[in-house]
Amino acid sequence: MALLDLDVWSLGAILRVGWAIVALTIASTLVYTLNDIADRHRDGGHPTKRHRPIASGRISIRVGLLLAAVQGVLLVVLCGLQPWPRTWPVAAYLALAIAYSFALKHVPLVDIFVVATGFGLRLMQGYLVLGVDPSGWLLISVFSLCLLLTVSKRRQELTTVGGAHRPALRGYTVPLIDQLMVLSAVMSVGSYLLYLRTEAPLGANGLVAAVLSAPLALFALFRYLQLVLVADGGADPVRLLLRDPALVVNSLLWLAVSGGFLLASRTP
């Protein structure tokens, strides 16, 4: 998303963003590996997580630790390719994710904020490698949207397996989660529209882009809330977003509108 704020796209910029994606992907897989090792006994009692390789016994703990070591070495090598001031979000994400896996995920409210912060660090990493000033409103929008997706996942866990699998769920109720989802949705769409009007590289097209994007953004949130609250979805937000026909069509329309205005703003 940070590429959108560049005045001119270049091969070097794309390669730097590619580096950030690979580095953060390896950091994420490293954390997931360590988390699966630590939670193997608790995952064994979950209806779906018990099928994970380590929890099911298909991969031994020794192999899991070896895989984590290889991922750690790869991450160190990758981070060495960039100066430290450009790689601190990767280090911060890794430290925060490890703290989450072993402690913070058990603290209600803190758990969802840590997950959302991780996605904000991903966006910040993209800005840093490109040398572009970060957009505050876009960061807030991404953070709020990730809060919404995380809270909706907690809701599904609470209604299906209760608080036995995840201790932090004891600090939530369905009415509380529903309120948190609404607040996150409002913050996400509001900050996104403010981004379009004040910080997006749209030039004179900012107002029109905001007006046309608002119905699409609202429909996406309305439909997602409908799927979570009415159809009891939310267990896998990514799969839900990619498989629901209404959300897919709406996303394609949003991409067409946003892409058209971005290209128009770059045309002399």
pLDDT tens digits, one per residue of 38-48: 777 666 666 66
**What are the pLDDT digits (tens) for 193-206?**
888 888 887 777 77
Q: Are residues 124 and 219 in the same domain?
A: no
- 29, 71 Cβ separation under 8 angstroms: yes
**What are the pLDDT digits (tens) for 124-167?**
988 888 888 888 999 999 999 999 999 998 898 888 776 666 78
Output the CA torsion sign for 154, 118, 42, 243.
Answer: positive
Using 50, 70 and 90 to split pLDDT, how confident is the model at 209? confident
Last-in-domain residue among 117, 134, 151: 134
The confidence score (pLDDT) of residue 6 equals 54
The confidence score (pLDDT) of residue 82 equals 81
Number of domains in the chain: 2
- Inform me whether the pLDDT recorded for 105 exceeds 60: yes
| Locus of tokens 């937000």 | 237
Q: Are residues 106 and 159 in the same domain?
A: no
Higher pLDDT, 149 or 236: 149
Higher pLDDT, 82 or 185: 185
Using 50, 70 and 90 to split pLDDT, how confident is the model at 184? very high
Residue 155: strand, helix, or coil: helix
Q: Are residues 266 and 229 in the same domain?
A: yes
- For residues 191, 24, 110, 230, the Cα torsion angle rounded to the nearest 10 degrees is 60
Q: Are residues 37 and 92 in the same domain?
A: yes
Domain coverage including residue 181: 135-268
Q: Are residues 242 and 252 in the same domain?
A: yes
Q: Are residues 25 and 58 in the same domain?
A: yes
Q: Are residues 115 and 214 in the same domain?
A: no
**What are the pLDDT digits (tens) for 46-70?**
666 666 777 777 877 888 888 889 9
Cα–Cα distance, 189 to 256 (Å, whole number): 18
The confidence score (pLDDT) of residue 266 equals 63
Question: pLDDT > 70: what percent of the chain?
Answer: 88
Contacts of 12 (CB under 8 A, 6+ apart): none
DSSP letter assigned to residue 235: S
Using 50, 70 and 90 to split pLDDT, how confident is the model at 107? very high
Last-in-domain residue among 82, 111, 134: 134
Q: Are residues 123 and 166 in the same domain?
A: no
Whether the model clears a pTM of 0.75, i.e. scores above it, the answer is yes
Using 50, 70 and 90 to split pLDDT, how confident is the model at 19? confident
